C-alpha cells in the first residue's frame, strides 16, 4: 500500500511534509507503520502549484529515500498546494508513467489502495473512456485509470460526485464480471484551487487517512500516516470526503453509486480492446 501527503494553505516548503518531520513521507517510504507493507520503494512523485494553473511535477522510479534530487527540490520549492506520494506497486510495473501523482490539465490525483480483480475489469473500465481520456492514459495502473474515469464522469464540474460515480461503476462491473467487489481507496485530488480527499472501502478495511492544521491561516494537510507525535491529528472516518479551500476544512459523506440510466456499453468483458 502506498503512502501520501497533501497540503493546502499559505505557501510552505515541500520539505515540511516530505523530508523534515520525524515521520516524514521519506521516512514512510521505508518505515511505514499503518500500512500492510512497511516499505514503499516502487517510485515517488510530487505535484505542486504556483503562479500558473497547471502543476509542476517530478516523478522517478528510485526509492524516495535514495533520491537526492527529491530532497533538494523539497528544500527549495514553496507552494500553497501540493501532493506527494511514495509507491508500493499492486498493479503496473515500476516505471515513471506509473508513479503518482497523475496530471491532466490543471487536475492532479494520487491514490492509495487497491481494486480487486483489476486484470478482469481493466478492459471494461477502459471501454467507458472517450477518445480524449483513453489517449491520455500513459501508464498501466488501476489508479490512473480510475482518475481518467472520474474525469470522464465529470470530475471538473462535480469532483466528489464524479469520483463516487467512478468507484460505484467499478464496483458494479466487478460484481457483474466476478461475482464480488472490493475497492479500498484513499485519494487526494485537486484543480489547483481546492484540495479534495476521500477515504472509502467496499469492506470494513479502508486505508487510513488523517488531517491536521498546518501553515497557519486555515491551512491543512491530509496524510496517510501522522507525520509526528506532537500535532493533534484527526482520523477521517471511512466513507467520508473532505474539502479544503480558502474557508478551511469541510467534510461530507462519500457514497459510491452508479447511475444505471447513463448511456454506457453493456456490462460485459469487451470482445475487443481499443
* Other Cβ atoms closer than 10 A to 37: 12
Q: Which of 2, 68, 99, 221 is catalytic?
A: 2
- Whether 99 is a known active-site residue: answer no
The grid cell for 237 is 472516518
Upper half-sphere CA count for residue 261 (Cβ side, 13 Å): 0
The grid cell for 71 is 530532497
DSSP-assigned beta bridge partners for residue 48 = 56, 82
The grid cell for 94 is 515500476
Contact of 224 with 28, CB cutoff 8 Å: yes
| Integer Cα distance of 150 and 134 in angstroms | 12
| Integer Cα distance of 102 and 124 in angstroms | 21
| Integer Cα distance of 100 and 121 in angstroms | 21
DSSP state letter for 129: S
Contact of 81 with 49, CB cutoff 8 Å: yes
Active site residues: 2
Amino acid at each position: 500500500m502506498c503512502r501520501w501527503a497533501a497540503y493546502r494553505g499559505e505557501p510552505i516548503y515541500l520539505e515540511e511534509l516530505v523530508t523534515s518531520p520525524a515521520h516524514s513521507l521519506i521516512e514512510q517510504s521505508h518505515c511505514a507503520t499503518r500500512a500492510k507493507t512497511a516499505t514503499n520503494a516502487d517510485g515517488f512523485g510530487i505535484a505542486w502549484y504556483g503562479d500558473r494553473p497547471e502543476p509542476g511535477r517530478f516523478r522517478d522510479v528510485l526509492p524516495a529515500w535514495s533520491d537526492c534530487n527529491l530532497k533538494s527540490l523539497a528544500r527549495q520549492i514553496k507552494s500553497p498546494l501540493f501532493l506527494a506520494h511514495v509507491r508500493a506497486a499492486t498493479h503496473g510495473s515500476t516505471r515513471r508513467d506509473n508513479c503518482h501523482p497523475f496530471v491532466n490539465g490543471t487536475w492532479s490525483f494520487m491514490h492509495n489502495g487497491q481494486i480487486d480483480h483489476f486484470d478482469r475489469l481493466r478492459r471494461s473500465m477502459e471501454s467507458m473512456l472517450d477518445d480524449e481520456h483513453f489517449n491520455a492514459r500513459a501508464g498501466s495502473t488501476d489508479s490512473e485509470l480510475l482518475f481518467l474515469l472520474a474525469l470522464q464522469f465529470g470530475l471538473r464540474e462535480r469532483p466528489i460526485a464524479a469520483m463516487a460515480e467512478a468507484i460505484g461503476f467499478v464496483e458494479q462491473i466487478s460484481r457483474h464480471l466476478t461475482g464480488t467487489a472490493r475497492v479500498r481507496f484513499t485519494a487526494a485530488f485537486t484543480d489547483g484551487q481546492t484540495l479534495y480527499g476521500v477515504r472509502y472501502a467496499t469492506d470494513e478495511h479502508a486505508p487510513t487517512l488523517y488531517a491536521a492544521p498546518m501553515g497557519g491561516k486555515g491551512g491543512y494537510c491530509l496524510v496517510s500516516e501522522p507525520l509526528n507525535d506532537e500535532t493533534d491529528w484527526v482520523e477521517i472516518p471511512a466513507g467520508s470526503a473532505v474539502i479544503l479551500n480558502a474557508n478551511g476544512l469541510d467534510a461530507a459523506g462519500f457514497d459510491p453509486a452508479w447511475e444505471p440510466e447513463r448511456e454506457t456499453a453493456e456490462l460485459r468483458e469487451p470482445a475487443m480492446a481499443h
